[in-house]
Structure 1
């Protein structure tokens, strides 16, 4: 598992220059703090941001903001991209932070399995450092919630991360469906993705650690949207090379899978030793 570390915001990244200096500063100032399961195998890769007015529509999710608090000065949308989630090839989750004229966080919303949840608790206890909403990430599946207890109400919490890992293969849902391959090779690609993701199956610890998004991960949404087809193509090529190199045949475990499994088992063993 990749280590999640806290980083301060010390400056602007060159990738955000097209969005303007002010928007770059705002994006980092209000970025959510994400809480990941200790055994989470996939941390975010990139974050597309957009500054919106209340009469705008989201560029990355089918919604508008006509019911926003009338005091809202602007809305910051964070479209958080993962190359993988435990069930399929990619994942995109959104966070919206509503900012008042004095810079106060008025509200927050986040996506949860195709729905939208309130992201800021009523007592504002999950607002850190004045401007960063702290959100928990469902293990493996990456739905967002201000309360980790929400995940424990899901009947497939453990199944999704364990026995059903990779079950969706080459995910082709929503607007991004047109970006994935078609034709005779699709089933073969599905099989590679399923097999790769099965090697990351895990049992959620339901203990969480904070991960702060890095400045170099931010870019305007339009740039992320343009980069997605290239990222998908890169991941598919990687999987093709992994399994071609290891001579993937039939149902036998490949060398790549053995290495990944042994690495995880070694890490889990170390965790158990530390727990003692």
Structure 2
């Protein structure tokens, strides 16, 4: 396990966040792929390991307690490493899909200290892009942080449907809470957020903790309206 933790720390991504971003990353759930296999945390995709070039890939499932439009968020970075320990490809999640993380001007990887991918988070929404210029072409990127804040209430993914529950009242409370407490105007100035190594964990550990994390925030929201 210690070897795995050292590996996870060695390739941990640097997330560039807006200076006014109201949410922080509180955990990364990690999976090391040494062969082609379907992702458990991003079930719509298979992580393909071309053994001629790739020794392993690390999936970082990035946890936020909130998205600016709904309760809780999970984004992903995939780092592909060759047999010499060099990063040869980086992908990251973008609104349910994924993009290659390369410099838009020269197509090269963007790495800090040679092994840490640098990616940019859409303000409030946290979709990941390789260049902050891309954010301005995303529909409603600004409105989602202001008048559209909280619009989606509590999201309940199928894998947690038996442990996270919502209703019409909670949906309305969550929308109002997010808009009142977290609504903001992005600065479009970005600063690095690097998660402490002790907050790296296996995906299974993070997955097991998610219902408790979400239900704690639901309790905070309910308290907000019943002071």
The residue matched to 1:213 in structure 2 has which SS?
Answer: coil
Deviation at 1:178, TM superposition (A): 4.4
Instruction: Give the conservation status (yes or no) of the 8 Å contact 1:120–1:127.
Output: no
Find the counterpart in structure 2 of residue 250 from structure 1. Answer: none
Q: Which has the higher strand share?
A: 2
Q: Which position in structure 2 is the counterpart of 1:239?
A: 221
2:136 to 126, 130, 152: 152
* Between structures 1 and 2, the one with greater helix share: 1
- 1:70-105 Cα distance to aligned partner (Å, 9 max, x none): 310000010001110100001000111001111000
Distance 2:76 2:174 in 1: 24
Is residue 33–residue 49 contact of structure 2 (8 Å, CA) maintained in 1? no
For structure 2, which runs of at least 5 residues remain unmatched after alignment?
none
Say whether 1:225 aligns with 2:211.
Answer: no
Q: TM-score, normalised by structure 1?
A: 0.77
CA distance in 2, matches of 1:67, 1:189: 42
Tell me, yes or no, if structure 1 residue 141 matches structure 2 residue 122: no
Change (3 A) 1:117 1:193: same
Contact kept? 1:120, 1:133, Cα under 8 Å: no
C-alpha spacing 1:152/1:99, structure 2 compared with 1 (3 Å): same
Q: Give 1:101's aligned residue.
A: 83
Q: Give RMSD over aligned pairs.
A: 1.6
Q: Which residue of 2 aligns with 1:16?
A: none
* Cα 1:178/1:190, change in 2 over 3 Å: same
- Structure 1 stretches of 5 or more lacking a match? 1-19, 246-276
State the SS of the aligned residue for 2:201. Answer: strand
Corresponding residue to 1:114 among 96, 107, 125: 96
Distance in 1 (alpha carbons) for counterparts of 2:164 and 2:144: 23
Give the superposition deviation at 1:216.
Answer: 2.1
The aligned residue for residue 17 of structure 2 is 36
* Residue aligning to 1:80: 62
Larger C-alpha radius of gyration, 1 or 2? 1
What is the Cα deviation at residue 196 of structure 1? 1.1
Indicate if the aligned counterparts of 1:117 and 1:145 stay in contact, CA closer than 8 A: yes
Equivalent residue pairs, number: 223
Task: Judge conservation of contact 1:79–1:93 (CA < 8 Å) in 2.
Answer: yes
